[in-house]
Amino acid sequence: MKVQLLAYTPEPEKVVAAAAKLCYSNASIDDLLAGLTTEKSREFVEMLATMGHESPTEHVSFTFAIEGVSRALLAQITRHRIASYSVQSQRYVKLDDFARVTPPEIAADPEAKAAFEEAMQSEAEHYQKITGILKEKHKAAFLAEGMEEKAAARMAEKKAIEDARFVLPNACDTKMIVTMNARSLQNFFHHRCCSRAQWEIRALADEMLRLCLKAAPSLFAKSGPSCVAGPCPEGKMSCGKTAEMRQKYMAMRSEGQKNG
């Protein structure tokens, strides 16, 4: 897995503070940024967090480049609907020897790993076989319609992989660009940093949070699973590790403040 923070709203904490200031004062637009130093902006952001006033944080956004994650993760992250996603297409990109994500539990067991690799190899071979069969069929049809051979081959392959991709597994890796505003990110971290989240998306959420803490440490000071800033919402399903989780994310915040 590789995660990079490509871009984010310049001076995010100052933008959030300005939006909040507009809500609570009669300042004009021209005066909105007056006196909003870095320190004052951070104080304003921290005050908002204690008040639970989240809407001003929607005015700043963060864009991440993510690769080396599975299609299984893609199905999970796109459930966070207040976000923008651009994903590598299996319809347009031919995957002759696709990379795959191997779950740690499988990787740690030689027998399970061997079975997994055998299954992945079989999927890759079937993908290539189906692609080849359909490509020849579509190429013949395009040539019969009078299409030039090179163009017919190109169009035939595109049409073939559109259907052949149905045999590709959840383990098949993918790449994406994801943009979320800060409020959506907070919700994402609450759910996906939780110890009960699936291991891969939890690892992704942790890495995204590390990057956010470097860019805007005060804005994400209370980020992480819900138990970091309050009681665990999982009830009987709680992992029972609240103290351990708070210690983990406190250390992450300290590191972010140091590098921010």
Q: Which residues are catalytic?
A: 192
Q: How far is CA 114 from CA 102, 104, 200, in A?
A: 11, 13, 21
Q: How far is CA 57 from CA 9, 43, 159, in A?
A: 11, 14, 44
Pairing mode, if any, of strands 173-181 and 2-8?
unpaired
- Helices 12-24 and 38-51, axial angle in degrees (round to 10): 60
Nearest to 178 by CA among 89, 85, 58, 88: 85
- Name, in order, each residue with C-beta under 8 angstroms of 55's C-beta and a sequence gap of 6 or more: 19, 183
Residues 59, 16: contact at Cβ < 8 Å? yes
Residues 116, 123: contact at Cβ < 8 Å? no
Q: How far is CA 9 from CA 6, 14, 19, 121, in A?
A: 11, 10, 14, 43
- Quick one: which H or E segment has residue 102? none
For residues 10-43, one letter each, b for 16 or more C-beta atoms within 10 angstroms of the residue's C-beta and e for the rest, the string is: ebbbbbbbbbbbeeeeeeeeeeebeebeeeebbe
* Number of neighbours of residue 251 by Cβ within 10 angstroms: 10
